[in-house]
Structure 1
Amino acid sequence: MELVKALDLVDFINEFKSFLAREKPLFIEGDINLHFNFINELKKYEFKAPVSVKTLDTEILHIKKQGVLRLEEIFEFVKIFRYFLYLKRVKFEGKIKEFIDSINIPEEIKEVEGYFDEKGELRVSIDDRLESLQMALKQNKEQIRQKLQALLNSNKLQGYLVDRQIHYVNEEETLLVRGGFNHVLKGTVVGRSSGGFFYVAPEAITKLKEKEAAIISQIEEVRLEWAKKISTVFLRWIKFIEYINRAFDRFDHYQARVNFAKAKNLFFILPKNDDKIVLKDFIHPAIANPKPISVDFSKKVLIITGVNAGGKTMLLKSILAATYLAKYLLPMKLDPKSSRIGRFKEIIPIIEDPQNVKNDISTFAGRMLEFSRLFQKREALVGVDEIELGTDSDEAATLFKVILEELMKRDIKIAITTHHKRLASLMAAYDEVELVAAIYDEEKGAPTYEFLQGIIGKSYAFETAKRYGIPLNIVKRAIEEYGEDQAKLSELIERGSELERELRKKNSKLQEEIERVEFLRRTLEDERHSLFTQLKEEKERLSRIFQEAISDAKSAIKAKDTKDAHRLLNKAHQKAKEAKIKEKKISEDIKVGDSVKYRKNRGVVLSLKAKEAYVDFDGIKMRVPLNELKRINPVKKKTQAPKVSVSKPKKLSVKLDLHGLRVDEALEKTDKFLSDSLLAGFDEVLIYHGVGSGKLARAVREFLKNHPRVKSFSDAPPSMGGFGATVVEL
């Protein structure tokens, strides 16, 4: 309860407890994931909450000792039986249905449930004696009423009656009369009024009351018999009684959370198996007219600085409160999709001033005692308000820096508030330290109760003093004595810390980029080696097929038999076909202006020609086969400098055949072929242009001479085309 009080959650927790059918600890025993899923399922259904039920641990122990329960105690169990019988009629599904169906209520227990009416009284229909005794009791009460009315209407008594009311004194019906009543009325004086009159119980009524007491005694004897009988049944089913009592507590945990969340429009968060805390639009339940809080506390230490009375303490309490509520699966006000809360064995607030008369300890000494205990903790979340409280801030900053460094090595997560900049500036260099500043509106001269991460905030002590009524002349003198140099130094500390953090972030990003580039370099090197091996194997295969085709063609020429010649020529043609790469069919109707994807690259079609497209890949323009393009959604224009990553083609021929093409067509194809070969990482390619008049060969070699990425070129060896082909080194 001390933790709840320190986090300002007392009213919130008490309100939640009002939704429970009976008092119990907040913690739900068992698998928290199972409980969370059960609660989420239960939110889908509308059902009645259980009525208030007494804690029955003592009664269960009494049953085990073969004791006899009172009917009032038995009815508390009946409430539980009745609630589960009701739940079985609700159309639940999934895990909830399985849970409810697993509670099989024995027939004997169902009979006991039927013995009682809604008010907890035994039904008279279960025992003839009860029915007759109840009738006799009713008749006796009617006789008492009639007798009293007769006395009130008696002429002899009229002169002695003070009023015509029936007064209940010591649970007896009496008449208020004057002195001398004994001449006309026999009865017993049971009291006197402030006016000196007498409260008299008439003798006739007394006899009827004695008869009533006798009837009630007989009824109690019958009730005791039934109490013994039911207690015997409970003893036989004691294991079931214990089980359903535990099951009721479990379901009570669930229904209270679900109904409380629905009533207050709250959300549940399942704690994750880490120590990250990310809150989005969290609202502390103790704040009236709140501003939602958003904070990322993923690191080991969070230092909250900034303006006095700007919400630093409430941010600290909000972090601890949200963690506490998540730990016990209690709903809260926040954005559940964007929020994340880790799991902690213990939540430790160091918030209050430890100094008091009883413990005879100073503020700082008390803080040191609280910090000393942290070194024995594990998996704890600690919140410290005004960490330098009670001592010199400069000395405390150095001391707490060392303490925090040591705690960071342990499995402890700690959030602190401070209005001094020294500790924040000392800790800002650590990667596991996050800075948060409370924002101050300088134009309005008031805090905004909002927070900005990554900076050290100003305390705005002078502005706060003015806002709360300190005379302006006093504040002005204080500013003068504080000095311009101190103000500048303070600003330099804040700015220096900010710049340092920015530099570390940039260095971190740069290092990540270097690692990424290095990874790409290694990957490209591996791919290049693989492609070179494939190229070599392809060259050998093509050369072998080419030689076989030539050999078959020569054999066909030498053949005297025409049929045999045709057969050998067909065989040669077939082998030549094997050396060709099958072209893919154009699967999509690509048009100029379409956004397309070529392997891993995205671009826009500039023009179309035959089976090729001229495409702009973010500034790099290339000709690519139409059958290798895929139309996509329009490419969004980037506002920053474009970065293009062109992937290497996975499949590409190492040769280009220009036979039968005009010069301009041949050069266009050569340009595109060389671009693809460079992307693939080929060192050497082969271009077939034929001998003919020599015009095409000269044009191709002139083009190669001026190409910036061509190292050299030469005639192909006789086995690969001789003068009719050119080997190009890239």
Structure 2
Amino acid sequence: MNNRILNVLEYHKIIEQLVDKAASSLGIEKIRKLKPSTDLDQVMKWQNETDEAYHVIRLKGNVPLGGIFDIKPHVKRAVIGGILSTHECLDVASTIYGGKQLKLFIDKLEDIELPIIQELADEIVPLNELEREIKSCIDDHGHMMDGASDKLRGLRSRIRTNENKVRDRLDNLTKTKAKMLSDAIITIRNDRYVIPVKQEYRSAIGGIVHDQSASAQTLFMEPQSVVELNNQLQEARVEEKREIERILKDLSQRIAADEEFLLQNVEALEEIDFIFARAKLSHQMKASRPTMNDRGVIKMKQARHPLILSDEVVANDVELGEAFTAIVITGPNTGGKTVTLKMVGLCTLMAQSGLQVPALDGCELAVFSDVFADIGDEQSIEQSLSTFSSHMTNIVDILNNFNEKSLLLFDELGAGTDPQEGAALAMSILDRVLSKKARVIATTHYPELKAYGYNRDGVVNASVEFDIQTLKPTYRLLIGVPGRSNAFEISKRLGLHESIIEDAKSHIGTDSKSVENMIASLEDSRRKAETDYEDANDILEGAEQLKRDLEKQWQQFEKDRETLYKKAEEKAEKAVTKAREEAEIIVAELRNMQTEAELKEHEWIEAKKLLNDARPNLTKKQDKKQEPTIDDDKAKTLKPGDEVRLLTLDQKGTIIEQTGKNEFQVQIGIMKMKAKRKDILFIRREEPKMERPLATVRGSGYLVKPELDLRGERFEDAVQQLEKYIDDALLAGYNKVSIIHGKGTGALRKGVKDFARKHSKITSARDGNMGEGGLGVTMLELK
């Protein structure tokens, strides 16, 4: 891909958007080198990488890529013996830490398949020891810490001591010699402490002059009494600087020793940042992954131009490369023809760069060996070329270099010269491109090209829609329908006299009228087909939704029925087993009784066999279940809420209401229907449940909770409840209860403690432990 084509299709703007998504200078550097690939395997690998990262962004929202720097120059300088600065060493430590955090994040994504990204993360080596050494010497602001070495700690202690001594002496001078000073302050000149002395008192103060004011009336002097102290301070600072350089040299050597691992980490982090930048851009564009092919096939549903705002862009369907290899687009100026060309070209370049494209899922794009474009007025003023000459120069270059693996984009093909000659050239150029089986999209104004698609195999006409009512383009691409001239309709709506329009129509040839009539017929047919399609689609969606709802209800019904059958079987099994056991006990007792009515042994055996035979043969799963025993009185009169079986459908339901003498409305699942009394079998009726008393005497059922919640109660009401609760708890036999009062203002807590002290049956009261509720609970011991 040459740079001129990339500029024409504004590929650089996509790169700038991608740069904004990078988290480090590493990713930015790699992004700026990105160019579309013509290798299908490479493109598919890039697309797989982007897709993996997109899933992570969609599920996790963000990726920890902070604190990563391009430390390759630092490492290389350390390797050749250079001494790194504190900030450079800190960049190395920060990058090591950032790599560890990213590696940990990716390792935790066990629920997402990330073979490519996981492989890159596995290459990151956690250099914990080197990171620890750097951070133990340098703080987060790049300052060498006192604890970097024992010697440095001692030197800085000396520096602070000397500084304090110098300041103390100078402070004393500023107090005793205040009238000789311009200002009672201590300042620094040439890294030495000085005081501002008036010019006339220079001799009185004595010492070394380091600087003077602009007016020369103030001298910044180092008094003789602090010269030696300043010398000692300077010596300590020189030693401090030398010790810092020694520490940095050691750290630089440690960094050089880990050169291989550091550069390996940087390469992995660079690639991961690059991949996630592409995924972030896809997420922002609401893009989807294209399926790539090398057959020159393009299929995009609701594709949008990547550089037009989402609330302004018009989405279009584009297909090329299977039923036809060329599209000829006609339509009015500013109607969207050029935008469509650029959209197809830019999406192709993005896909070949591993980027997802702004279209619906399931889109398909081809890997082309070249993308050629002749778009816009690119005439060269320096070369004194006309518009036509400029376009033709580009076209000649394209025709000399394209092949069957190329995508060609021509804007206003043949424009800028005599219409008849331009149309003839345009058709000849298209014929040449078609003969080599390249993919081409061309826009034109020439009416001769409207019929071109009907006379050539592999060519289809298209147009951009124009709304006659509003006199504005809709920017919709209509494949299969050539653009029609709207000059007469527009002129009529703008007020041109009818007679002039009719006279103009008489000058149009028969062929032109036939073409326009054909186009008008095609447009009418298309609109009708679109309307019918939308209506059919609405009906289909409604039917599918109804089908899904019914299937869901039926599955739930089957599940509920199976559950009820299972419960009934278990209950019946238990009842039969219990009855059999009781009967066997009775039989055994009778056999042991020695009476005059003693039975014979074979009669006992026969009785036991009859008992076994009486046991019902239940299975765990049946298609039809035996109905529960029905109370005859209830069965005679059905009431709303009764559970019944509708015999005509063999389904259970519920009585809603009686609609006639022998007719009822029954609800089965989501359906309501009327049924005759003879077709309804009563199953059961829910009896009103008796409310269980709050508390009864323990031992015969006295149930009292071991805790009382008083939160939100007024103090007087709370005391009454507490008094009654203690009586109930004593009757229930509790020896310890919890009173929940919350923390709040502490009034309830104090009231509970006061009540406990006065009550004769409460032996102690304490605050709850951490596991019991803390200060919000009081634990009472009862006797």
Q: Is TM (by shorter chain) over 0.5?
A: yes
Which of the numbers 92, 96, 99 marks the counterpart of 1:84? 99
What's 2:326 paired with?
301
> In 2, Cα distance between the equivalents of 1:65 and 1:324?
42
> In 2, Cα distance between the equivalents of 1:165 and 1:462?
90
> In 2, Cα distance between the equivalents of 1:421 and 1:209?
94
Alpha-carbon spacing, 1:357–1:68, altered in 2? closer, same or farther (3 Å):
same
Alpha-carbon spacing, 1:386–1:173, altered in 2? closer, same or farther (3 Å):
farther
Which of the numbers 124, 135, 158 marks the counterpart of 1:103? 124
Alpha-carbon spacing, 1:257–1:484, altered in 2? closer, same or farther (3 Å):
same
What's 1:15 paired with?
17
Matches within 5 A, 1:206-217: 215=236, 217=238
> In 1, Cα distance between the equivalents of 2:186 and 2:124?
53
Shift in Å, 1:441 = 0.9
Query: Is the Cα contact below 8 Å between 2:199 and 2:219 reproduced in 1?
Result: no
Q: Which residues of structure 1 form unaligned runs of 5+?
A: 504-587, 590-730
Shift in Å, 1:135 = 4.7
Query: Is the Cα contact below 8 Å between 2:301 and 2:317 reproduced in 1?
Result: yes
Shift in Å, 1:318 = 1.5
Query: Is the Cα contact below 8 Å between 1:437 and 1:455 reproduced in 2?
Result: yes
Shift in Å, 1:453 = 1.4
What's 1:454 paired with?
480
Alpha-carbon spacing, 1:47–1:311, altered in 2? closer, same or farther (3 Å):
closer
Shift in Å, 1:312 = 1.5
Q: Tell me which moved more, 401-410 or 94-103.
A: 94-103
Query: Is the Cα contact below 8 Å between 1:437 and 1:451 reproduced in 2?
Result: yes
Query: Is the Cα contact below 8 Å between 1:354 and 1:362 reproduced in 2?
Result: no
Residue deviations 1:503-548, cap 9 Å, x none?
9xxxxxxxxxxxxxxxxxxxxxxxxxxxxxxxxxxxxxxxxxxxxx
Alpha-carbon spacing, 1:263–1:287, altered in 2? closer, same or farther (3 Å):
closer
Matching residue's letter, 1:452? L
> In 2, Cα distance between the equivalents of 1:261 and 1:208?
66
TM-score (norm 2): 0.53
> In 1, Cα distance between the equivalents of 2:174 and 2:461?
86
Which of the numbers 392, 395, 405 marks the counterpart of 1:368? 392
What's 2:300 paired with?
279
Specify the SS of the correspondent of 2:334: coil
> In 2, Cα distance between the equivalents of 1:212 and 1:489?
103
Query: Is the Cα contact below 8 Å between 2:147 and 2:153 reproduced in 1?
Result: yes
Query: Is the Cα contact below 8 Å between 1:9 and 1:286 reproduced in 2?
Result: no
What's 2:365 paired with?
341
Shift in Å, 1:247 = 0.8
1:357 aligns with 2:359: no
Shift in Å, 1:249 = 1.0
Residue deviations 1:644-680, cap 9 Å, x none?
xxxxxxxxxxxxxxxxxxxxxxxxxxxxxxxxxxxxx
Shift in Å, 1:36 = 3.5
> In 1, Cα distance between the equivalents of 2:174 and 2:202?
15
> In 2, Cα distance between the equivalents of 1:184 and 1:484?
115
Which of the numbers 396, 407, 420 marks the counterpart of 2:446? 420
Cα root mean square deviation, aligned: 4.6
1:72 aligns with 2:53: no
Shift in Å, 1:352 = 3.5
Query: Is the Cα contact below 8 Å between 1:304 and 1:438 reproduced in 2?
Result: yes
Matches within 5 A, 1:75-474: 75-90=90-105, 91-93=108-110, 94=113, 95=115, 96-106=117-127, 109-112=130-133, 114-115=135-136, 116-135=138-157, 156-157=178-179, 160-161=182-183, 182=202, 188=209, 190=211, 196=215, 201-203=220-222, 215=236, 217-262=238-283, 265-288=286-309, 289-299=311-321, 300-335=325-360, 337-374=361-398, 375-378=400-403, 379-410=405-436, 412-458=438-484, 460=486
Query: Is the Cα contact below 8 Å between 1:166 and 1:173 reproduced in 2?
Result: yes
Query: Is the Cα contact below 8 Å between 1:428 and 1:497 reproduced in 2?
Result: no
Shift in Å, 1:484 = 4.3
Alpha-carbon spacing, 1:385–1:52, altered in 2? closer, same or farther (3 Å):
farther
Alpha-carbon spacing, 1:174–1:2, altered in 2? closer, same or farther (3 Å):
farther
TM-score (norm 1): 0.57
1:39 aligns with 2:44: no
Query: How many pairs are equivalent?
Result: 496
Specify the SS of the correspondent of 2:308: coil
Specify the SS of the correspondent of 2:260: helix
Query: Is the Cα contact below 8 Å between 2:300 and 2:364 reproduced in 1?
Result: yes
Shift in Å, 1:316 = 1.6
Shift in Å, 1:175 = 8.2
Alpha-carbon spacing, 1:455–1:264, altered in 2? closer, same or farther (3 Å):
closer
Shift in Å, 1:251 = 0.7
Specify the SS of the correspondent of 2:420: helix
> In 1, Cα distance between the equivalents of 2:227 and 2:421?
87
Matching residue's letter, 1:128? D
> In 1, Cα distance between the equivalents of 2:129 and 2:217?
55
Query: Is the Cα contact below 8 Å between 1:275 and 1:413 reproduced in 2?
Result: yes
> In 1, Cα distance between the equivalents of 2:485 and 2:406?
29
Query: Is the Cα contact below 8 Å between 1:156 and 1:184 reproduced in 2?
Result: no
Q: Tell me which moved more, 242-251 or 184-193.
A: 184-193
1:24 aligns with 2:45: no
Alpha-carbon spacing, 1:455–1:142, altered in 2? closer, same or farther (3 Å):
farther
> In 2, Cα distance between the equivalents of 1:394 and 1:402?
12
Alpha-carbon spacing, 1:200–1:102, altered in 2? closer, same or farther (3 Å):
same
Query: Is the Cα contact below 8 Å between 1:301 and 1:433 reproduced in 2?
Result: yes
Residue deviations 1:255-308, cap 9 Å, x none?
223344445655444534442223333333432431332122323222222121
Alpha-carbon spacing, 1:134–1:45, altered in 2? closer, same or farther (3 Å):
farther
Query: Is the Cα contact below 8 Å between 2:285 and 2:306 reproduced in 1?
Result: no
Specify the SS of the correspondent of 1:486: coil
Alpha-carbon spacing, 1:323–1:459, altered in 2? closer, same or farther (3 Å):
farther
Q: Tell me which moved more, 318-327 or 279-288.
A: 279-288
> In 1, Cα distance between the equivalents of 2:5 and 2:192?
53
Query: Is the Cα contact below 8 Å between 2:328 and 2:442 reproduced in 1?
Result: yes
Q: Which residues of structure 2 form unaligned runs of 5+?
A: 526-622, 625-783
> In 1, Cα distance between the equivalents of 2:154 and 2:334?
74
Query: Is the Cα contact below 8 Å between 2:335 and 2:464 reproduced in 1?
Result: yes
Specify the SS of the correspondent of 1:284: coil
Matching residue's letter, 2:313? K
Query: Is the Cα contact below 8 Å between 2:84 and 2:248 reproduced in 1?
Result: yes
Shift in Å, 1:85 = 1.1
> In 2, Cα distance between the equivalents of 1:80 and 1:366?
51
Query: Is the Cα contact below 8 Å between 1:269 and 1:329 reproduced in 2?
Result: no
Matches within 5 A, 1:522-601: none
Identity %: 19
> In 1, Cα distance between the equivalents of 2:179 and 2:449?
93
Which of the numbers 476, 493, 500 marks the counterpart of 2:515? 493
What's 1:518 paired with?
none
> In 2, Cα distance between the equivalents of 1:494 and 1:216?
93
Query: Is the Cα contact below 8 Å between 1:457 and 1:494 reproduced in 2?
Result: no
Query: Is the Cα contact below 8 Å between 1:420 and 1:459 reproduced in 2?
Result: no
Q: Tell me which moved more, 172-181 or 338-347.
A: 172-181
> In 2, Cα distance between the equivalents of 1:480 and 1:146?
107
Query: Is the Cα contact below 8 Å between 1:455 and 1:498 reproduced in 2?
Result: no
Shift in Å, 1:39 = 2.0
Matching residue's letter, 2:385? I
Q: Tell me which moved more, 494-503 or 231-240.
A: 494-503
Residue deviations 1:220-265, cap 9 Å, x none?
4334334433443344433323322211111111222334444565
